[in-house]
């Protein structure tokens, strides 16, 4: 019988060897199934006759279970790979798409059509070109194409009964990458296309939503935003901590509601600075508003807070901008029902806000009198909130100071923005004056609240015509000189090895892009650049490259920062200046 120590050493050595083998096997498995960091997807959805087609382009490297056997030089063996693509497209793409016709689930029919593409292929700039490409002649077997550069194009067909029906889609393609960005174009028969851009899985999307579908979606979005926005909730809590009279409480909450409705609507419709530093500034001011209200609760007794509705109104204007940042990215899902979407989002915010107050106000009314001193309880609770908000303010302030600030260029776009901002300010001042008149003249809390909400609704609806403006073009100074310079650096680092400046200027640019919405060019950049890793550009980097390309073609820089938001870019038409473009020196 062996010694116990020897037996333990043998078992220990076997365990170490087993763990070592397991570690090597796991590392190999991870390497073989590595998830791409960024994936860009471009898709078209078009109902036509008795058929609905989904045409999509995804990076081949996101199909992670293919039995790839590259050539000796590392390029793909297209002849061997071709027969595997339909099954891969079904497994990784078709099985993760759910489409509905008037609420009835659709099932894909037949074989999924596939085609490999090189990174420079431009067929997905239009639906017809994409279909012709996927159904056309495949790449020659001798094409030298690497795994990380290849694009997989697919056509998935669904039988339908009526191309005028109501279609919805629930895409679940986020599994293709760590960060998956999709640009989806819906082309309904007899009307203009609708463009959606989203990250990850957006849930169930009505491709041409009815007004009540848009309203339902945005009510839920509004409730979710206010309940998940701890800073907004703490501000509302600070407003009501020292207040015990329902009449004053209704004044404060109504003033906050009217104020944030004004800036929410105005910002969502484009009346807000487009500079990159503006959202961080608003985040700092939101934290500052919480600190101020909390400190005021500490210093000023409750009986001397009769003016609190004015502070709620002033800071409500700031919080409205904060709400609008969450709304802007989702407004595309409202389709043509912009007013209904805005109103529904605001209703959702109020529902969430009232739900919180319905719990917080009775709880405070029950808890604070049980303390040794209600005033002490207000001070302690407010001090805790102020401490947390102070940390937010300093952290956000440090992030804000990291941005570069430059004086705006005095051009047409600057004066237009100034006029729009002035009109929004006049609306806000008019609403504040009207609210004060109502408080003084109407003694009944019920009539005061109803009338105040009516004025707030009128202001919100009237802001639309105030901020309406004609379609902009690329001649209106839609990007900054700093953006173009940063785009030039990106171009030199990522694109110059595959493109020359002349390929994006003059006749080639005019032939492919002039007269089209700027969103088409942005979509091309997001999905096909850079050639070495298509679809990996961040939206802000793509906007910089877009600014540089516009600058190459003689477009003037302005004071507004070019956004990467596809719905916004769809409203801008690509137009050349009369003078010939001047190439920048590399």
Are both 50 and 137 inside the same structural domain?
yes
User: How is residue 75 annotated by DSSP?
Assistant: B
pLDDT at 378: 84
pLDDT at 186: 94
Are 548 and 481 contacting, i.e. CB atoms less than 8 angstroms apart? no
Are both 265 and 386 inside the same structural domain?
yes
- Residue 291 falls within a domain, yes or no? yes
- Residue 20 falls within a domain, yes or no? no
Rg (Cα) of the chain, in Å, rounded? 29
Contacts with 4 (C-beta within 8 Å, 6 or more apart), sequence order? none
Higher pLDDT, 291 or 417: 291
Among the candidates 469, 490, 515, a domain finishes at 469
- Residue 31 falls within a domain, yes or no? no
Are both 504 and 441 inside the same structural domain?
no
For the cut 50, the answer to whether the pLDDT of residue 308 exceeds it is yes
Are both 132 and 228 inside the same structural domain?
no
Q: What does the alpha-carbon distance between residue 413 and residue 477 come to, in Å, rounded to a whole number?
A: 7
- Residue 7 falls within a domain, yes or no? no
Are both 268 and 378 inside the same structural domain?
yes
Among the candidates 155, 176, 208, a domain finishes at 208
Query: What is the pLDDT confidence band of residue 450, given thresholds at 50, 70 and 90?
Result: very low
User: How is residue 491 annotated by DSSP?
Assistant: I
For the cut 60, the answer to whether the pLDDT of residue 16 exceeds it is no
Are both 156 and 256 inside the same structural domain?
no
- The first and second tokens of residue 534, run together, are 């298509």
Are both 461 and 318 inside the same structural domain?
yes
Structural domain span for residue 457: 213-469
Average pLDDT (194-206) is 89
Are both 427 and 477 inside the same structural domain?
no
For the cut 60, the answer to whether the pLDDT of residue 31 exceeds it is no
Average pLDDT (548-574) is 81
Are both 462 and 480 inside the same structural domain?
no
Query: What is the pLDDT confidence band of residue 21, given thresholds at 50, 70 and 90?
Result: very low
Q: What does the alpha-carbon distance between residue 19 and residue 6 come to, in Å, rounded to a whole number?
A: 20
Are both 402 and 265 inside the same structural domain?
yes
pLDDT at 252: 84
Higher pLDDT, 55 or 528: 55
Total domains, the chain = 3
Average pLDDT (210-218) is 90
- Residue 71 falls within a domain, yes or no? yes
Among the candidates 469, 489, 523, a domain finishes at 469
Strand, helix or coil at 409?
coil
For the cut 90, the answer to whether the pLDDT of residue 93 exceeds it is yes
- The first and second tokens of residue 313, run together, are 């109104």
- Residue 585 falls within a domain, yes or no? no
Strand, helix or coil at 140?
coil
Q: What is the mean pLDDT of the chain?
A: 79
- Residue 485 falls within a domain, yes or no? yes
Query: What is the pLDDT confidence band of residue 392, given thresholds at 50, 70 and 90?
Result: very high
- Tell me how many degrees the CA angle 416-422-428 measures, rounded to the nearest 5: 140
Q: What does the alpha-carbon distance between residue 455 and residue 428 come to, in Å, rounded to a whole number?
A: 11
């Amino acid at each position: 019988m062996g010694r116990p120590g020897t037996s333990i050493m043998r078992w220990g050595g076997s365990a170490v060897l087993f763990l070592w083998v397991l570690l090597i096997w796991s590392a190999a498995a991870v390497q073989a199934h590595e998830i791409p960091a960024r994936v860009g997807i471009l898709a078209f959805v078009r109902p036509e006759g008795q058929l609905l087609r989904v045409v999509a382009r995804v990076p081949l490297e996101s199909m992670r279970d293919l039995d790839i056997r590259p050539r000796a030089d590392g390029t793909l063996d297209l002849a061997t790979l071709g027969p595997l693509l339909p099954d891969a497209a079904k497994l990784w793409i078709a099985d993760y798409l759910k489409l509905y016709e008037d609420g009835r689930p659709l099932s894909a029919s037949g074989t999924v059509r596939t085609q490999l593409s090189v990174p420079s292929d431009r067929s997905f700039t239009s639906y017809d070109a994409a279909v012709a490409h996927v159904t056309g002649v495949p790449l020659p077997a001798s094409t030298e194409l690497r795994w990380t550069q290849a694009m997989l194009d697919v056509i998935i067909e669904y039988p339908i009964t009526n191309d005028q029906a109501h279609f919805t889609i629930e895409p679940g393609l986020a599994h293709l990458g760590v960060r998956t960005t999709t640009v989806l174009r819906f082309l309904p028969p007899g009307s203009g296309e609708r463009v959606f851009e989203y990250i990850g899985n957006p849930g169930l999307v009505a491709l041409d939503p009815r007004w009540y579908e848009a309203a339902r979606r945005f009510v839920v979005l509004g409730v979710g935003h206010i309940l998940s926005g701890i800073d907004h909730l703490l501000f509302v809590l600070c407003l009501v901590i020292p207040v015990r009279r329902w009449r004053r409480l209704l004044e404060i909450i109504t003033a906050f509601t009217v104020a944030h409705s004004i800036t929410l609507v105005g910002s969502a419709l484009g009346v807000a600075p487009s500079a990159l530093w503006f959202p961080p500034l608003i985040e700092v001011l939101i934290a500052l508003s919480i600190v101020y209200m909390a400190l005021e609760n500490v210093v000023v007794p409750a009986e001397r807070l009769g003016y609190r509705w004015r502070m709620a109104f002033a800071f409500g204007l700031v919080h409205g901008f904060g709400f609008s940042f969450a709304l802007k990215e989702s407004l595309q899902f409202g389709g043509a029902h912009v007013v209904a979407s805005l109103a529904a989002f605001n209703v959702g915010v109020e529902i969430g806000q009232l739900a919180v107050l319905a719990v917080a106000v009775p709880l405070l009314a029950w808890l604070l009198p049980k303390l040794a001193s209600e005033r002490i309880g207000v001070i302690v609770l407010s001090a805790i909130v102020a401490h947390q908000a102070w940390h937010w303010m300093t952290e956000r302030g440090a992030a804000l100071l990291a941005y570069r600030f430059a004086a705006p260029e005095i051009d047409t776009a600057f004066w237009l923005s100034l006029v729009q901002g002035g009109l929004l300010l006049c609306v806000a001042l008019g609403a504040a004056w009207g609210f004060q008149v109502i408080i003084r003249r109407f003694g009944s809390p019920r009539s005061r609240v109803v009338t105040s909400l009516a004025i707030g609704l009128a202001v919100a609806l009237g802001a639309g015509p105030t901020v309406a403006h004609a379609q902009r073009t690329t001649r209106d100074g839609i990007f900054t000189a700093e953006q173009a310079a940063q785009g030039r650096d990106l171009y030199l680092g990522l694109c110059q090895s595959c493109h020359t400046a002349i390929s994006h200027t003059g006749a080639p640019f005019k032939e492919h892009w002039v007269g089209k919405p700027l969103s088409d060019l942005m979509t091309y950049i997001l999905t096909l650049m850079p050639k070495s890793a298509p679809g990996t550009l961040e939206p802000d980097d793509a906007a910089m490259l877009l600014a540089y390309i516009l600058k190459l073609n003689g477009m003037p820089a302005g004071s507004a920062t070019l956004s990467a938001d596809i719905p916004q870019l769809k409203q801008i038409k690509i137009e050349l200046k009369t003078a010939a473009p001047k190439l920048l020196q590399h």
